Structure 1
Amino acid sequence: MSKNKKKKNIGTIVAGLIFILIGGLGGFFGGKVIDESLPSSDTPFINILFIALIFIFACTSMYIQIIVHEAGHYIFGKLSGYDFVSFRIGTLMFVKEKNKIKRKKFNIVGTGGQCLMSPPKCDGYNFPCISYNLGGSIANISLGLLCLSLYFLFSEVPLLSTLLVMNFIFGIGFALLNSIPLKIGGIANDGFNTLSLCRNHEARHMLWLQLKINALVSTGTRLREMPEEWFRLPDNADLKNPLINAIGVMQCSYLHDKKEFGQAKTACEAMLNNTPGLLQVYKNELYCELMFYEIIGQCRKEEIEKFHTEELKKYIKATSSYVSRRRLMYAYELLVNKNTVNANKELIAFEKVAKTYPYEGEVDSEREIIQLINSYSNS
């Protein structure tokens, strides 16, 4: 078994043990709450309704802890000198644009939310980043322990005690899942990134660059307008580190925005071939762009279908809210399938996504590429 597969299995096992722990806590406290709070009624409907309420409270508590987790990142980031950029729960996203908070729609596969901030001005290496990374887990465990304390005070109040117990369970669970260094669903968690930041000085700089680039992108700045050196991997870079190889992936996007598709293709292939342990979400993004470069290049259907696997089709569907994905499928329908009806549907979908998309510069870039696709179709 390869070293990467062993690490992946370890991460899966640890995550599984945490879920077992959550289940155990849920069984112990949940059984206690049901036993103490279930109304003594001979009417099955009343009992079923009460159990349904417990399920609703569990879902509510989960979303409360997601919000608290991201709020923790914000609070600890703010205390460390960061500035607010965006706050996302599920697909609902709030972005700071020209000193105003605007509502947008966005989603990242494998994440329930995300709070992004602009890092403090510095040399790009020496800045507070540990508390910002672990702030979410600290907030989860703090609320969880507070709810446990309140539960012992209000254990005889049926619905309130249920909500408090659920928040305790999910608070502890979220804290463990995010603070213990793991890769879950192909995404490095906060604990994994924190460990990288402690061990690798270069990783701190790569994180600073990512946050700085994202902050500028949120203001409408295009990647091609940023300094080229920001997208250059350092010599002898540890490409196994997700915080470092992320810049390599961003370099592909930088070249793509400059319309240097040949260089972008080479960069994508280099990242896929030379980066052990590259996160699956990055691999899927690179495969999508390589598929696109083949479509606007030699357009060999057999080569395109090598990229267009069942796994990638699922990823494309899961990221249908990305303007880049709509552009890819527009090119696929127009240039590969020669289906103008489906191509127009993709174009309509692109415009619908663009209305609520948080990154205006990316929308502008994709509009330019769609014009190029149209020129290929007419030639």
Structure 2
Amino acid sequence: MKEKLRSLSYFLLLILVSAIIGYLLGKSGRVTSLTMEDLLWFILFGGVSFILHLFIHEAGHAFFGKISGYDLLSFRVFSLIFVRSQETKWILKKEKVPGTLGQCIMVPPLREKFHFKLYLLGGGVANILLSFFALILFPTSPFSWSFFLLGSLFCFINLIPMGFNDGKTLQLALKNPENAYKLWIQLDVVQRMNRGETYQELPEDYFKFKQAPSKNKKTYLDDYLDFLSLGLFLEQNDWDRADEIISRKWEDLSFLILPYQLELKKQAYYVWGYLDKNEKEVANLKNEQTFQRYIKESKAENILIKAVLVWRQDKDQVTALEQLDLAESLLGKENGLVEQKLICEKIEWFRNEIVNEMIN
């Protein structure tokens, strides 16, 4: 209930901000002279402004991150992402992250030099600064007002703490040093995996955080560390400990942010399908349209999971082996060296398990 009231207050605040902007637009005297053609151009440029501000927002993170000692690792707008490879070459790929429209991931400086304020604020600051700059240069243009309106909304939506936006992350990191350290770990893991380190090669300290005493005190920074441990147990084929994490987090499913909800459902579908347990939950996931659209994307990991379900649930060993072959053929489309390495190992492990079962 408390979270719903907070979300409602944010929504009302955005309405207030929009009303203030509308009032300023009216006071400018331009509204009274708007023609229908101006209005149509205003609406059309709204779409262009949205795309521009999405790019500006991520570029703002990159710029302010750079002056804070970070190095750019990846830059994504919608599903197009530029990723820096091990050889420092830039590669253009396609990658969707549910619940996000863009993302700028940077390699953090050493922990003792870790400054996160400018990096997190950079996107929203860039949006509002360029919005005012455009309005100052062209105060009577409908294009400027459209750009200013979208930029202001981008700024407030991202910097007012809510959900898992920049403002919320900044609020959590400022709350205590441990949260700031968790944020640093998250960024450090991304850059380590980009250069080829697997879960088992990460520092042991990353897996030693104590669980929050209650779900109300857990944050998405804590959830990330849970998924980090889950990845480690799956790499080690420790299915029981993986199931333990999934079962514990399943109780808090509705409290997770959208990307983590989908990831937890996918791992539950995978692990419970392999262990042949929690049949009701697995059946519900099979019938959940949103999740099935997510899992049906043509990616090696998704095909691997499908192969496991076909083998364990449908008892169809031949089709399962065919699906594993298909997953292997899609490995080149996976983003990152670690994903390719881990999925390749899992394909071989499951293939051996199925073949041994067929022989015996």
Instruction: Report what 1:201 is aligned to.
Output: 177
Instruction: Report what 2:14 is aligned to.
Output: 18
Instruction: Report what 1:325 is aligned to.
Output: 302
Letter in 2 for 1:105: K
Instruction: Report what 2:142 is aligned to.
Output: 162
> How far apart, in 2, do the equivalents of 1:300 and 1:234 lie?
27
> How far apart, in 1, do the equivalents of 2:157 and 2:282 lie?
37
- Residues 119-158 of structure 1 correspond to what in structure 2 (within 5 A)? 119-123=108-112, 127-152=114-139, 155=140
- Residues 334-373 of structure 1 correspond to what in structure 2 (within 5 A)? 334-337=311-314, 348=326, 351-352=329-330, 354-373=331-350
Deviation at 1:180, TM superposition (A): 0.4
Deviation at 1:205, TM superposition (A): 0.5
> How far apart, in 1, do the equivalents of 2:25 and 2:326 lie?
50
Identity of aligned residues (%): 24
> How far apart, in 2, do the equivalents of 1:194 and 1:333 lie?
44
Letter in 2 for 1:174: F
> How far apart, in 2, do the equivalents of 1:170 and 1:351 lie?
43
SS of residue paired to 1:196:
helix
Deviation at 1:14, TM superposition (A): 1.2
2:82 maps to 1:94:
yes
SS of residue paired to 2:100:
coil
Could you tell me whether the CA contact under 8 Å between 1:218 and 1:358 is conserved in 2? Answer: no
Instruction: Report what 1:219 is aligned to.
Output: 195
SS of residue paired to 1:374:
helix
* Greater relative CO (CA pairs within 8 A, separation 6+): 1
More displaced, 291-300 or 100-109?
291-300
Could you tell me whether the CA contact under 8 Å between 1:295 and 1:304 is conserved in 2? Answer: yes
Q: Cα–Cα, structure 1 residues 12 and 316, in superposed 2: closer, same or farther, change >3 Å?
A: farther
Deviation at 1:114, TM superposition (A): 0.4
Could you tell me whether the CA contact under 8 Å between 1:92 and 1:105 is conserved in 2? Answer: yes
Query: Is there any run of 5+ residues in structure 1 with no aligned partner, and where?
Result: 40-46, 156-160
Kindly provide the CA deviation profile for residues 52-93 of structure 1, in whole angstroms up to 9, marking residues without a partner as x. 544331111101001111111111110010111100001100
2:28 maps to 1:6:
no
Q: Cα–Cα, structure 1 residues 37 and 273, in superposed 2: closer, same or farther, change >3 Å?
A: closer
> How far apart, in 2, do the equivalents of 1:51 and 1:326 lie?
48
Q: Cα–Cα, structure 1 residues 255 and 246, in superposed 2: closer, same or farther, change >3 Å?
A: same
After TM superposition, the score normalised by the length of structure 1 is 0.80
Which of 46, 60, 68 pairs up with 1:58? Answer: 46
Query: Is there any run of 5+ residues in structure 2 with no aligned partner, and where?
Result: none
Q: Please give the root-mean-square deviation of Cα atoms over the aligned residues, in Å.
A: 3.2
SS of residue paired to 1:368:
helix
Letter in 2 for 1:110: G
Instruction: Report what 1:110 is aligned to.
Output: 99
Deviation at 1:36, TM superposition (A): 3.8
> How far apart, in 2, do the equivalents of 1:264 and 1:22 lie?
46
2:69 maps to 1:69:
no
